[in-house]
Amino acid sequence: MTYARRAWIILWKDLLIERRAKEHANALLFFCLLLLFLFQFALGPDRERLAAAVPGLLWLGFILAGLLGLGRSFLGERDNDCWEGLRLTPGDKSAIYLGKLAGNCVLMTAVEIILVILFGVFYNVDLWTPAAPLALVLALGTIGLAAVGTLFAAMTTQVRARELLFPVLLLPVQVPVLLATVSATQALLLGQPLADVAHWLKLLAGADLVYVTIGLLTFEFVLEG
């Protein structure tokens, strides 16, 4: 079986489970909706202020949703005793990482798209005009978040105090992704052209490349335990 095929099987399996059980997607969507309300309550009804805070809130929402969603991505394997099965799969273990990463990206993207639409509706921001460049920022940021998140999720699944350790490990590492995506989103919402945020996009792309490479190289050591 080829490498890509093995990664695809993992991705397919995860998406199938998600489609049938809808364990994560439903809860995550509701969580995002709650976040929207909480942000509103925390910042008050001032529309101007909310609109100015949207890029930060948006990415804070993605990251919080990511913490919940990504952190759970290996729990099923552990609880259903599939960890051994994953370990026994022949061939390069990084294919499993790639499949899991792809699955997480799909899930995150689905949640993000809905969250963006909700933000547009509730906070009265025009997210439609800069939609295409925004999608690029979104995609790059999601890969960066999911690449480290998937790796750390696999790691912390076996650790006690998982719920605490996962965010404590993931959040500081994600600072560059947060800074880059928030800055780029802010500029795009202010109507600046894509060229003005090119340096942020390059940074994101570079970070994604580094994170995914490290994930691929080190995943087999994580899976061992």
Partner 1 sequence: MTRALGWLAVLGLVVGIAAGFGYAPREAIQGNVQRIMYLHVPAVLTAYLAFGLVLAGSIGYLATRRPGWDRLAAAAGELGVLFTGLTIVSGSIWGKPTWGTWWTWDARLTSTAVLFMVYVGYLLLRSLIEDPDARARYAAVVGILGAVNIPIVHFSVKWWRALHQPSTILGPERSPIDPAIGLALFVNWVAFTLLFAYFLSRRMEIARLEEQT
Alpha-carbon distance of 172 to 137, in angstroms, equals 20
Q: Report the 10 Å Cβ neighbour count for 159.
A: 12
Provide, for the chain, the percentages of residues in helix, strand and coil under a 3-state DSSP scheme, each rounded to the nearest 5.
85, 0, 15
Tell me the closest approach of the beta carbon of residue 148 to partner 1, in angstroms. 7
Residues present in the chain in total: 225
Site residues (vs partner 1, CB under 8 A): 148, 151-152, 155, 158-161, 165, 168-169, 171-173, 175-176, 179-180, 183, 199-200, 203, 206-207, 210-211, 214, 218, 221-222, 224-225
Tell me the closest approach of the beta carbon of residue 66 to partner 1, in angstroms. 16
Render the burial of 205-225: b for 16+ CB within 10 Å, e for the rest: eebbeebbeebbeebeebbee
Tell me the closest approach of the beta carbon of residue 85 to partner 1, in angstroms. 19
Tell me the closest approach of the beta carbon of residue 138 to partner 1, in angstroms. 17
Alpha-carbon distance of 177 to 171, in angstroms, equals 10
How far CA 84 is from CA of 11, 41, 80, 90, 157, in Å, comes to: 18, 46, 10, 12, 14
Tell me the closest approach of the beta carbon of residue 109 to partner 1, in angstroms. 22
Q: 120 vs 206, which CB is nearer to partner 1?
A: 206
Tell me the closest approach of the beta carbon of residue 128 to partner 1, in angstroms. 27
Q: 161 vs 195, which CB is nearer to partner 1?
A: 161
Residue 203 near residue 176, CB atoms below 8 Å: yes
Residue 62 near residue 141, CB atoms below 8 Å: yes
